């Protein structure tokens, strides 16, 4: 039975949580939620939004009380057309006619419950491991609850706390299943967006989150539910689209480095350093020398004000105290909430159990745009139990270059951020690209603080250039390490002592040259190359390949948009041409509408073409992306038969963009028809198309795609398709005349 799992409420009847209130009243308030505004306004009106599933959980009361309470709750949930599930108790669910049950690993088995419950009953299963998740999917469960996400006092019999990393592993293990997924455990307003963002595996994401005390214990459950809905429907402010590697990635990045450095000098970014006191003076001088504004403050409460300057935060736990972690967490929250960059330098992460515990707390407590550390530190953050550091030194390396590149890439991919693994060769990755940097000088390893300063330098550049984190950090590393080479080459530098002032001078010299537009310091100096882990080499995408397995995606071309979308009739004419060609060529067609009840069906001009075996799906949705669970389960596995998806529809910068990114992330190829997509504001088209081209999509025309699919004038459908092209020549010309100029 299909169910919207996005905001899943689990009740708690304990007095401390309810605070003397009636449970049914609290649940009804949460169901009312509030109103969530769509980005398609003014065309789409405000639509109600609140809790989408309610689970009644009661571990203390006897059966009679549970039946009575569940029956009252059911009257409430039915009024809002939201399913009520009963935790553990199949008998209670049957007694009141609930829509389903949720079963733990120690409760009645799925198969036994299936025999007792009505055919269309919803059955969910608690899971905390890959094995449990796979079994639930194989058995036929409607959804699984994955957890525990974070430690919480509301459930004491949890087997393990798995966090976003463990959740991501489970999602990846069931990526080919259409089973629904929700995360549970310690989720609140401050972390829900990060949970959804960082848990996502390349091919499967969470369908929702299960909330207990953050709603039930809230003074205003309605307002709390409304806030959750708004957070769930929007990505976190720190989220960024991935950047697939280009054929000449290293060269393309290096071409932009001088301009990035000039921009940083111009911006004069503030960096809030929560750094060890041993190196703070040196690091502050380094930041000043490159044109940044450092503030050294270990007091977490100050972050509420400091983050308003829109600079970066550096967490460097070199001199850890009993108060450090709590202060770090306060600062991380403030900077995450504002979407400002946060850099984590887990100094000495594997040296003591206190530091290892600090790593665990911090990784669970917020999002880091960059994690920077030596081999031992990065391995500890990854989760290796075989690492032992002596103090803050990395110790002898046990990994070769390819293994280091793989470690940096895998950690960045897991955390959906950027990772810098430092050493004689630095390895920098955003989970897609891996760049090796061989600049620098041995003196850097002989001076206290030079490694710590890299975190501050990175924060400066992440503040100044936010659209590509990897490029920002690379620019900072190159400025820093080329300055070190310049300083070491001075005749008067005889060792580490004389190196330090020369190094600060050289940083200042590069800053001055950059401000004056002089890039001569950089010409031919970068020792950079793209490092491809072996697995990546074996799986390089063939982005230049021809269309072999076409599918047509038609996104939300509905009546209510007719008067709002730029050049809507031209968009429709292109779509009609593609639909007619799809019928002739028997190309699979996937169609979506957005909130059909309010915005209407696909426009009448296209209705006559929406019949036949090649029409694979016609799905109504609330997601902006077309990759709904219903459509995803119809798509082939990209590792065996990736689709060449041709997209037409609206809006270019919202639904088309999110659909394209989802398809690319899953390994399919995407062709966006420039004469077949539009938005309310025409300016949005060009911005979106440029972004999607950079992401790996092909932006082309309808006629080009049709003839590429044919491939040969001897094709049996050539006469029909070429005739269609001639018939629609003028409308195609008109569409291209408008759309290709934006």
Any idea which residues carry the catalytic annotation?
Answer: 452
Closest by CA to 19, choosing from 216, 210, 212, is: 216
User: Which of 163, 156, 172, 176 is closest to 128 using CA atoms?
Assistant: 163
Give the span between the Cα atoms of 713 and 543, in whole angstroms.
25
- Helix locations, 290-352, DSSP H: 303-306, 324-338
Enumerate the β-bridge partners of residue 273: 296, 314
**676/698 Cα distance (integer angstroms):** 13
**CA nearest to 204, candidates 161, 243, 171:** 171
**∠ at Cα 104 (102, 110), nearest 5°?**
70
- Residues forming a β-bridge with 434: 429
With beta carbons less than 8 A apart as the criterion, state whether 452 and 460 touch. Answer: no
Instruction: Return the structure tokens found at 523.
Output: 């010409």
DSSP string, 92-148: HHHHHT-SEEEE-TTSS-HHHHHHHS-TT-EEEEEE-SHHHHHHHHHHT-SEEEE--
Specify burial of residue 704 (Cβ count, 10 A radius: 0-12, 13-18, 19+). middle
| CA 639 distance to own-chain centroid | 22
**How far is the CA of 100 from the CAs of 52, 87, 110, 177, 185, in angstroms?**
14, 9, 12, 21, 21
d(CA 74, CA 183) in angstroms, rounded, equals: 24
Among residues 593, 570, 574, the alpha carbon closest in space to that of 738 is found at 570
Residue 717 vs residues 244, 553, 707, 711, 727: alpha-carbon distances, Å: 35, 21, 11, 11, 15
CA angle 169, 360, 202 (to 5 degrees): 25
């Amino acid at each position: 039975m299909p169910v919207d799992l996005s905001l899943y409420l689990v009740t708690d009847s304990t007095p401390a949580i309810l605070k003397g209130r009636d449970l049914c009243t609290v649940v009804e308030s949460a169901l009312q939620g509030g109103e969530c505004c769509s980005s398609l306004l003014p065309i789409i009106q405000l639509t109600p939004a609140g809790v989408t599933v309610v689970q009644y959980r009661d571990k203390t009361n006897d059966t009679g009380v549970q039946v009575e309470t569940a029956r009252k709750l059911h009257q409430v949930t039915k009024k809002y057309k939201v399913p009520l599930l009963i935790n553990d108790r199949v008998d209670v669910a049957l007694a009141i006619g609930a829509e389903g049950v949720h079963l733990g690993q120690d409760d009645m088995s799925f198969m036994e419950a299936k025999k007792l419950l009505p055919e269309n009953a919803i059955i969910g299963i608690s899971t905390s491991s890959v094995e449990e998740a796979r079994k639930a999917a194989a058995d036929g469960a409607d959804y699984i609850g994955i957890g525990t996400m974070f430690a919480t006092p509301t459930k004491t019999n949890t087997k393990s706390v798995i966090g976003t990393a463990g959740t991501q592993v489970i999602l990846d293990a069931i990526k080919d299943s259409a089973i629904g997924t929700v995360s549970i455990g310690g989720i609140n307003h401050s972390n829900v967006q990060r949970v959804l963002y960082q848990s996502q595996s390349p091919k499967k994401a969470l369908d929702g989150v299960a909330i207990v005390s953050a709603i039930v214990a809230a003074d205003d459950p309605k307002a709390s539910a409304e806030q959750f809905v708004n957070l769930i429907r929007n990505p976190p402010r720190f989220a960024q689209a991935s950047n697939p590697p280009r054929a000449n990635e290293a060269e393309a990045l290096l071409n932009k480095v001088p301009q990035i450095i000039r921009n940083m000098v111009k911006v004069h970014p503030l960096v809030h350093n929560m750094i060890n006191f041993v190196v703070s003076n040196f690091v502050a001088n380094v930041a000043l020398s490159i044109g940044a504004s450092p503030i050294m403050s270990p007091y977490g409460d100050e972050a509420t004000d400091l983050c308003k300057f829109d600079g970066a935060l550096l967490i460097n736990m070199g001199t850890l105290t009993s108060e450090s972690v709590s202060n770090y967490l306060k600062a991380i929250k403030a900077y995450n909430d504002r979407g400002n960059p946060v850099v984590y330098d887990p100094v000495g992460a594997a040296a003591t159990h206190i530091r290892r515990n600090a790593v665990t707390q911090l990784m669970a407590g917020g999002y880091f745009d960059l994690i920077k550390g030596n081999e031992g530190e990065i391995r500890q953050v990854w989760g290796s139990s075989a690492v032992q550091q002596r103090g803050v030194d990395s110790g002898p390396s046990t990994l070769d270059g390819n293994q280091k590149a793989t470690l940096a890439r895998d950690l960045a991919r897991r955390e959906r951020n950027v990772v810098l693994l430092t050493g004689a060769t630095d390895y920098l990755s955003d989970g897609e690209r891996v760049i090796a940097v061989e600049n620098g000088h041995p003196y850097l390893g002989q001076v206290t603080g030079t490694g710590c300063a890299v975190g501050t330098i990175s924060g400066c550049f992440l503040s100044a250039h936010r659209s590509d984190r990897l490029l920002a950090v690379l620019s900072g590393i190159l400025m820093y390490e080329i300055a070190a080479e310049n300083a070491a080459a001075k005749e008067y530098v005889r060792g580490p002592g004389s190196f330090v002032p020369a190094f600060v001078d050289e940083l200042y010299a590069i800053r001055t040259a950059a401000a004056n537009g002089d890039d001569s310091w950089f010409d031919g100096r970068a020792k950079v190359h793209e490092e491809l882990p072996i697995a990546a080499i074996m799986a390089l995408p063939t982005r230049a390949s021809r269309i072999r397995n076409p599918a047509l995606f038609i996104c939300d071309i509905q009546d209510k948009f007719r008067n709002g979308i730029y050049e809507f009739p031209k968009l429709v004419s292109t779509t009609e041409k593609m639909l007619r060609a799809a019928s002739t060529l028997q190309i699979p067609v996937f169609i979506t509408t957005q909130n059909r009840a309010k915005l209407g069906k696909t426009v009448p001009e296209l209705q006559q073409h929406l019949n036949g075996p090649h029409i694979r799906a016609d799905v109504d949705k609330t997601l902006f992306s077309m990759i709904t669970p219903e459509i995803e389960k119809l798509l082939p596995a990209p590792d065996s038969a990736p689709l060449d998806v041709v997209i037409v529809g609206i809006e270019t910068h919202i639904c088309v963009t999110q659909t394209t990114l989802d398809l690319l992330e899953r390994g399919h190829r995407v062709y966006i028809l420039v004469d077949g997509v539009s938005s309310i504001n025409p300016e949005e088209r060009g911005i979106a198309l440029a972004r999607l081209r950079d992401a790996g999509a092909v932006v082309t025309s309808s006629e080009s795609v049709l003839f590429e699919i044919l491939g040969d004038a001897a094709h049996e459908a050539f006469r029909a398709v070429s005739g269609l092209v001639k018939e629609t020549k003028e409308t195609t010309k008109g569409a291209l005349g408008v759309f290709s100029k934006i």
